[in-house]
Amino acid sequence: MKILVTGANGFVGKNLIAELKNKGYTDIFEVTRESDCSLLERYTKECDFVFHLAGINRPKDENEFMEGNFSLASQLLELLKKHNNKAPVLLTSSIQVDKDNPYGRSKKAGEDLLFNYYYETDAKVYVYRLPNLFGKWSKPNYNTVVATFCHNIARGLDIQVNNPDAMLNLCYIDDVLEEFLRALEGKPTMQDDFCVVPVTHNIRLGELANLIKSFKDSRNNLSIPDMEDDLRKKLYSTYLSFLPEGQFSYDLKMNCDDRGSFTEFMRTPERGQVSVNVSKPGITKGNHWHHTKNEKFLVVSGEGLIRFRKIGSDKIIEYKVSGEKLQVVDIPTGYTHSIVNVGENDLVTVMWANECFDPNKPDTYFLEV
């Protein structure tokens, strides 16, 4: 299948082309503002499907709205008619078509043009009135407030929140791509005469700003956002895509002594915390037990011996562990436990606890195994 994509360098276009290639589509005709006009002539003759994504949303002159959102669509459709090519055409429109402003009017004119084309040619057409889109490769101060907030907050720049209670309707780029692929297969999600993206999210502007700020703070407090929240998960992925080059990494606080080190890696309120423990040869750590706190130990390097003794019992249970064979050991409640480095090199253990450490309620009681 030969697929024509206008606006190929735009936010949606770049994501769409990348996903089309992931799905095995190789004959993709890419049209940008810099493309030679003769290319559009050839592409409209050969293509089997059209994604018309090109448009204008922040021009220097209001007259550019109609030029970018109507005239190009008109040229595209006229060329398809010239070549008697009834390839399906997908048009990206906007939820602002109902607003009486230059942008909304230009998008509405593009829609009307496409529907008239359908009545005239009987070719399949798909119109998507998209809400505020967000995701990787979007442009700050152009595509969406999400991109602007992510870009600025990641760089320590100010953001502007005029009305924190303003409600936003957001849609994630990957959900748009999923729907576009359905349309490519002739199975779009329809509502009345329009195609719709089935997954959208509502959030207040002030809440959005605070949420993205929390992503930046997570490097200091080691928190991980709740990934069961679909919008939060998508926003966090978007935020990470805006990290400045050279700032992908960040330091952790290592608590070091002559026995080795203990370093917290991440914390979650609902999934506990993960830490990395390093023990020098011959060193024993632990010798304590917990009422409710439970843990999992995973030795990833070195050789260790994990020992248990149930409270009130003299019986000792031992597990020999090493980085040569990755094995998780559960640390049950009510058992005093320790881990000994029995090798010649550092013992490195990844430790998970079901709750984050609270110095006011440590639930940790010293008792030798």
Looking at the annotation, which residues are catalytic?
A: 103
Q: Return the structure tokens found at 130.
A: 């998209």
Q: What is the token pair recorded at 125?
A: 């057409």
Farthest-apart Cα atoms in the chain, separation: 91
Sheet holding 27-31, edge to edge: 27-31, 2-6, 49-52, 89-94, 125-130, 194-195, 190-191
CA angle 57, 182, 122 (to 5 degrees): 80
For residue 84, give every residue at least 6 positions away whose Cβ sits within 8 Å of its Cβ, in sequence order, or none: none
Question: For 115-259, where are the E strands, in sequence order?
Answer: 125-130, 132-134, 167-172, 190-191, 194-195, 201-204, 254-257
Instruction: For residues 326 and 302, give the distance between their C-alpha atoms in angstroms, rounded to a whole number.
Output: 11
Structure tokens at 283: 């060193």
Q: Give the number of other Cβ atoms within 10 Å of residue 90's Cβ.
A: 23
Look at the block and give the residue holding tokens 């190929």.
8
Q: Are 285 and 364 in contact (CB under 8 A)?
A: no
92 φ, ψ (degrees, to nearest 5): -90, 120
Is 340 buried (19+), middle (13-18) or exposed (0-12) by CB count in 10 A? buried
Pull the structure tokens for residue 65.
């709205």
Q: Where are the beta strands (DSSP E) in 73-215?
A: 89-94, 125-130, 132-134, 167-172, 190-191, 194-195, 201-204
* Pair 151, 242: CB distance under 8 Å: yes
Which burial class, exposed, middle or buried, applies to 244 when counting CB atoms under 10 A from its CB (0-12, 13-18, 19+)? Answer: exposed
